[in-house]
Amino acid sequence: MAAQQQSLESLLGISGQRKSLKQQLDAASIKTEAGRTTLADLPTVQIGCKKYIPEEYIANKNRKGRRSWIQAHGFFLTEVSPDLRTLQTYWVCSKCDERGKSSLFVATNTTSPIEHLRRSHMITEADDNADEDSYSSRADIHPPSKRRCLESPTARSNVNKAKELTVGWIVTANLPFAAPSNPYLRRMLDLHDALLAKEVPWSRQSVRDTMRKLFEVKKGVISSQLQKAVTRISFSFDLWTSPNRYAFLGLHAHYLDASYQVQSRLLALRRVWGSHSGDNQAATIYDILGEYGIRDRTGAGVCDNASSNDTCLASLYRQLYPAMAEEDIRNHRTRCFGHILNLAARAFLWGEDPDSFEREAFTEAAFQVEERELRLWRKRGAVGKLHNIVRFRAIRKREHIDHFIAYLETKTSEPRQRVPVQDQLSPQDWLLLAEIQSLLKPLHEITMRCQGWAKEGRHGALWEVMIGMEYLLNFFEEQNLIFSSPDSCISELRNFRVSATKRSSTQRIEQGRGREKHLPQHAREEYTDVVLQDENLDDDHRRCVQISIKNCWSKLDEYYSLLGQSPLYPAAVILHPRWNVSWLEANWTSDEQLVWLRDAKNSVREFFEQHYPREEQPETSRTVTGKAVRQDEPSQSVLLII
């Protein structure tokens, strides 16, 4: 049972001056006499309307006697009921009783009495034999923060472990540093271990300081792990600017450990001073790699597609390997797949230059030019209208939105509350939004699939980039034919299927439209059963979809072509046991793609000969983690060099 402190004045309704419990005990002159055999024969202490008897006068064959040091600073009383039954036993603090503010603590355990003595009277078990004056003089010597550490009965190792677990909780759950100071969390921790909860500092500053100290402690452990890597250590980085304009660079290391398991470690989250140029970022990364002693073991670099990152990697590799040629630098440059997918989706929604449009919209909003901002968003058609109303809520909210607009139309006396006519979504707009949602779904699915650290050879592995982009290009090529003019759609689709430049994935065509499921029941009847075209979309809306598809396809094709600059992408596919070189041969069939295939084979061969030279050994095989691997077969572990 949790200890409960009871203030006698408020709980029992006592007012005015009263005798202390000690005085009542002395006045009663309680003595053990031979004739007293029942509770009725024992003197009692009156507290309000309740009666108590000193615990030592109650015989209990199961009681072993109390040995706690708190007996020296209080006494135990047992409550008796009117029918002379023993009830709960309480501990009474002598010092509080002397001051006329007696407090009772349930004596089921001693945690609360100990905490009361420490907090209210600065008495601990270590000070049990010292008088109060000596304790007070010592308390004046030590500051409160240090005195708390001296008094704490909690093991220091437990406190350190609690701090480390708190930091881990904040980091993994992406919580603010102030999260541990939540009063409800504190109360829950107090129930579990009140002493430990009070020893651990929970403020934002304390959490930040603990995180820094913990990072420095673990830094040596990570450095040791990096030295034991069996592969070159590849890295990924990105620059982020906080709302208060501080620039931070995050740097991760990726490698295979001695057990040939994929490992990823955060090396730094460091503030970047000065400009955000590629050269400045390269200097920061170079310093971090030097701190871990891995400059001479650095592999490929992964970053997004900003041009400053090209400059950064070129500058960095020249510092790491002065003899590295320009072509070899490009070979080591890999691109963030998630960023490519994001750019493709933005091109679908906003066109070729979404950044300039967003900058203009932000400027309008910053100056609170509401009407001009709305006009700007209206230029984007149905998507812009939807943005003006709900900021991209789901299609499934259509009925709610329609009801909302209809309700606002009744507010004739308050015209500013009504949705402008230009922003009201027509049935054609809703059909268009349903198509857009369906067309963007593959981008979302591949984005979610490729998140992770490729622990099991997928969900973040390099081979998924080329396979995924090929699938998306196929998908949008087919959708472009579907949304072509009705007269030419069927013939173009047939020509597409037999074209020498066709891509391999055609299963999307047989799946049919299927997008009417995103519409409310009453709207599905507006859809026809035609598989290859949606005749309900008028020419303007169909043209809008076509333009979006072409913008998205162009962005994907742009970066798909850039994959050829590095042999690592085709190498990842070639070394995959399911796809291997036959996948490239089956998909790259046009004249231009045959050149890609030839260059890919040559670049992969040259890359392996340069970075993984074959060593002459008398044995015909070698053993890796208990498995025999032929010397003429490269280990698939090289897939994870980036």
331 CB neighbour count, 10 Å cutoff: 20
What pLDDT is recorded for position 135?
40
Global model pTM greater than 0.75 = no
3-state secondary structure string across 341-393: HHHHHHHHHHCCCHHHHHHHHHHHHHCCCHHHHHHHHHCCHHHHHHHHHHCCC
Please check whether residue 586 is in contact with residue 504, taking contact to mean a CB–CB distance below 8 angstroms: yes
The pLDDT tens digits of the residues spanning 192-215 come to 888 788 777 778 888 888 888 888
CA atoms within 13 A on the CB side of 336: 17
Q: Is residue 450 within 8 Å of 459, Cβ to Cβ?
A: yes
> Tokens 């091109």 label which residue?
347
| Residues 298, 301, 303: CA angle, nearest 5 degrees | 155
Distance CA 218, CA 173 (A): 20
Token pair for 225 = 């792990």
Terminal-residue alpha carbon distance, the chain? 57
pLDDT at residue 493 in the model: 41
Report yes or no: 631 and 623 within 8 Å, Cβ to Cβ.
Answer: no
Q: In 10 A of CB 571, how many CB atoms?
A: 24
For the chain of 642 residues, list the mean pLDDT of each consecutive stretch of 10: 42 49 64 52 72 72 67 82 80 81 77 81 65 43 44 64 88 90 86 80 85 88 93 93 88 92 92 89 95 93 90 94 90 90 89 52 45 53 56 53 61 57 66 82 90 76 90 90 63 41 39 46 44 56 84 90 87 89 88 85 84 62 40 39 36
| Nearest to 281, CA basis, from 323, 260, 251, 324 | 251
Q: Which CATH number fits domain 228-335: 3.30.420, 3.40.1710, 2.10.260, 3.30.70?
A: 3.30.420
Token pair of 317, please? Answer: 């590799």
Helix extents (H) in 76-155: 94-98, 111-121, 132-141, 144-151
Cα separation, 32 vs 319, in Å, equals 92
Confirm if 489 and 482 have CB atoms less than 8 A apart. yes
Q: What is the pLDDT of residue 356?
A: 42
**What distance in Å separates the CA atoms of residue 150 and residue 162, rounded to the nearest whole number?**
18
Backbone angles phi, psi at 339, to 5 degrees: -70, -35
Q: What type of residue is 157?
A: S
How many C-beta atoms surround the C-beta of residue 577 within 10 A? 7
Q: Which two tokens stand for residue 619?
A: 């044995």
Identify the DSSP state of 100.
Answer: T
DSSP 426: P
Grouping H, G, I as helix, E, B as strand and the rest as coil, residue 17 is coil
Cα torsion for 424, 427, 433, 434, to the nearest 10°? 150
Token pair 């009705």: residue: 486
3-state class of 315 per DSSP? helix
| CA atoms of 628 and 614, how far apart (whole Å) | 16
d(Cα 183, Cα 370) in Å, to the nearest integer?
Answer: 41
Helix (H/G/I), strand (E/B), else coil: 46: strand
**Cα separation of 268 and 282, whole Å?**
14
Pairing mode, if any, of strands 45-47 and 621-624?
unpaired
- CATH 3.30.420 in the chain is located at 228-335
Angle between helix 463-482 and helix 337-350 axes, rounded to 10 deg:
20
Those residues with Cβ within 8 angstroms of residue 269's Cβ, 6 or more apart along the chain or in another chain: 248, 249, 250, 251
Contact 57, 30 (CB under 8 A): yes
**pLDDT, position 615:** 64
In 174-277, which ranges are continuous DSSP H helix? 183-199, 204-227
Measured CA to CA, the distance from residue 43 to residue 36 in angstroms comes to 10
Strands 298-303 and 333-335: parallel
CA distance 545 to 561: 24
Give, to the nearest 10 degrees, the angle between helix 370-378 and helix 354-366. Answer: 160
- Reported as half-sphere exposure (CB side, CA atoms, 13 A), residue 254 has a value of 22
| H runs (alpha helix) in 14-121 | 21-28, 94-98, 111-121
> What's the pLDDT at 307?
87
pLDDT at 315: 95
